[in-house]
């Protein structure tokens, strides 16, 4: 959420953010400013009426007789008018707060303006894509993943992992856990169902509400541990000396994939349920500090991929292909030999105080003043998508799959034998 004062003073910047993020149909900044002016006018009248009411009350206490009765009648009229104005003020405040939830975070100055994924910029490529002296198999053809029975039981985009597939996924997640803990992160399991207010707080609602599952109690299934981790200190005041706070968590993630009809219908690129290790950092205010940590968190994901010896590329996301709340976003795309292309496996973003204002997470600085923290997040590992790229990059001619060196101690073997599909 943006401060209304910031919107007043930077209306052109905010209007441009709405435009370049393609959100014109969801919010009207001029209407917000009009409502804000109306609110300020009624607030002034409320304050004037409260002052007059107090003044009349003090005067009445000193009078008697007819003069007192006359002022009591006047005070009653003022009180009634005040009640009407206060009700109107409350109504406007609620409406203004609802509209402010739809205002996006302006992109950083180095974010390219674009209309979609075709306008994202490749920052660099890392690693050498493998060459094979045999016909490359799709990850589905290696006998580790079963989407046919997955769809039978769990519906479209359902899947099963079996035996070595399960062990390889566990190895990836366990390695990711040990890796991110070695970087000084506190590690958590997190609530998988959360109150809707925390999806609002992290900026997934109101924009992405239709892409989330809800249960009969009105709770929402998370699409990422970011929601629970970022909300951990909601409504609290931290101390600057304790920042940065580095949180990591593991959770299943649930996404309806609304709007993705016809996309990635084969394989496990776009599924309704997956498991992810996520990293979240809370910082003192300041864009340069957030940018520094944005690169550092990107570095964590890159180091992990290099240790897995997987080729990848870094994308700087354009304005229309990033979330409403994100100030700047990198995607990491890892190489999939069968598709002969890079596919997204990580997403690295910073928000400044956009999320913390919504969640009311503050810190007390060295001068004793309260400020909102800045928030960042990035993927550590998400499976089964990263599992799929390991299978494809490490496949052998006989259908077996080599286990990456860093995972061998977790799975207890160097090669996964070929399995008939």
Give the active site residues. 255, 270, 344, 347, 385
- To which H or E segment does residue 358 belong? helix 354-359
CA distances from 366 to 203, 207, 236 (A): 29, 36, 17
Structure tokens, 418: 């070929």
How far apart are alpha carbons 61 and 122 in whole angstroms?
76
Structure tokens, 253: 């993630």
What is the radius of gyration, based on Cα positions, of the chain?
Answer: 27
For 9, residues 6+ apart whose C-beta sits below 8 A from its C-beta are: none
Match 């996404």 to its residue by tokens.
255
How far apart are alpha carbons 172 and 385 in whole angstroms?
11
For 114, residues 6+ apart whose C-beta sits below 8 A from its C-beta are: 120, 318, 319, 320, 321
CA distances from 29 to 19, 114, 378 (A): 11, 21, 30
With beta carbons less than 8 A apart as the criterion, state whether 52 and 79 touch: no
Comparing CA positions, the residue from 66, 129, 31 lying closest to residue 336 is: 129
Q: Is the dihedral of CA 27, 28, 29, 32 positive or negative?
A: negative
With beta carbons less than 8 A apart as the criterion, state whether 278 and 380 touch: yes
Asked, as a colleague might, if the bond just before 176 is cis with ω within 30 of 0, I would say no
By CB atoms closer than 10 A (0-12, 13-18, 19+), residue 136 is: middle
How far apart are alpha carbons 262 and 137 in whole angstroms?
22
Phi and psi at 187, nearest 5°, equal: -115, 140
Contacts 24+ apart (CB under 8 A), 74-80: 78/49, 78/52, 78/53, 79/53
């Amino acid at each position: 959420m943006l401060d209304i004062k910031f919107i007043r003073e930077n209306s052109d910047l905010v209007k441009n953010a709405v435009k370049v993020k393609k959100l014109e149909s969801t919010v009207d900044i001029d209407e917000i400013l009009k409502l804000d002016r109306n609110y300020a006018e009624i607030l002034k009248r409320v304050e004037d009426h409260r002052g007059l009411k107090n003044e009349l009350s003090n005067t009445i206490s000193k009078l008697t007789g007819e003069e007192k009765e006359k002022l009591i009648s006047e005070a009653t009229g003022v009180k009634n008018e005040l009640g009407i104005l206060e009700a109107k003020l409350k109504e406007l405040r609620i409406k203004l707060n609802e509209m402010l939830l739809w205002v996006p975070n302006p992109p950083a100055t180095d974010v390219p303006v674009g209309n979609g994924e075709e306008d994202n910029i490749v920052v660099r490529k890392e690693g050498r894509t493998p060459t094979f002296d045999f016909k490359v198999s799709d990850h589905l053809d290696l006998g580790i993943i079963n989407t046919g029975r997955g769809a039978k039981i769990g519906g479209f985009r359902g899947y099963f992992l079996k035996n070595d597939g399960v062990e390889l996924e566990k190895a990836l997640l366990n390695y990711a856990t040990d890796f991110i803990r070695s970087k000084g992160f506190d590690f958590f399991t997190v609530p998988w169902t959360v109150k809707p207010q925390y999806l609002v707080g992290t900026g997934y609602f109101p924009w992405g509400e239709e892409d989330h599952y809800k249960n009969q109690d009105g709770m929402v299934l998370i699409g990422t541990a970011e929601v629970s981790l970022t909300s951990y200190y909601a409504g609290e005041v931290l101390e600057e000396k304790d920042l940065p706070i580095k949180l990591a968590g593991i959770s299943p993630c649930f996404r309806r994939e609304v709007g993705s009809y016809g996309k990635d219908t084969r394989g496990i690129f776009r599924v309704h349920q997956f498991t992810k290790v996520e990293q979240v950092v809370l910082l003192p205010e300041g864009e340069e500090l957030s940018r520094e940590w944005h690169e550092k968190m990107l570095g964590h994901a890159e180091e992990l991929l290099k240790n897995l010896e997987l080729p990848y590329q870094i994308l700087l996301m354009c304005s229309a292909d990033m979330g409403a709340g994100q100030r700047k976003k990198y995607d990491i795309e890892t190489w999939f030999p069968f598709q002969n292309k890079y596919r997204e496996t990580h997403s690295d973003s910073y928000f400044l105080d956009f999320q913390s204002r919504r969640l009311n997470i503050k810190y007390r600085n060295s001068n004793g003043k309260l400020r909102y923290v800045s928030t960042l997040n990035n993927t550590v590992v998400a499976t089964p998508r990263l599992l799929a790229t390991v299978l494809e990059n490490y496949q052998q001619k006989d259908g077996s799959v080599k286990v990456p060196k860093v995972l061998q101690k977790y799975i207890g073997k160097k090669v996964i034998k070929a399995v008939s599909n």
